[in-house]
Amino acid sequence: MTTKILEVLKNDGNEDDITGLLLDRNLLVDESEAHNIASEILEHPPEVGYLTISNAYQWRLQYSRVIDKAGEVEGIKRLA
């Protein structure tokens, strides 16, 4: 998600572009809240992360991406 957001910003995307991206990802927010989040993103662009927002059972697959990076990326540690 952060990679896509940064691509939009790199291409001079605006609040409506980011809002559209957020809504396309089927986040559990209405359009008004998506605009609020987009506004915050414009003010404070995110760093590339390792988790993907998903409203489905796919979240388990996304966490495996983080586990694979434990010890390789600063801030990601294997606890077990």
Structural contact between residues 55 and 26, judged by C-beta atoms closer than 8 angstroms: yes
Helix 15-24 vs helix 31-43: crossing angle, to nearest 10: 130
3-state SS string for 6-73: HHHHHCCCCHHHHHHHHHHCCCCCCHHHHHHHHHHHHHCCCCCCCCCCCCCCCHHHHHHHHHHHCCCC
The structure's pTM equals 0.66
pLDDT in tens, 22-74: 999 887 889 999 999 999 999 999 888 765 555 555 555 566 777 777 778 77
In the chain, where the domains are located: 1-48, 50-80
pLDDT band at 1 (very low <50, low <70, confident <90, very high): confident
Say which residue, 62 or 21, is predicted with more confidence.
21
Say which residue, 52 or 15, is predicted with more confidence.
15
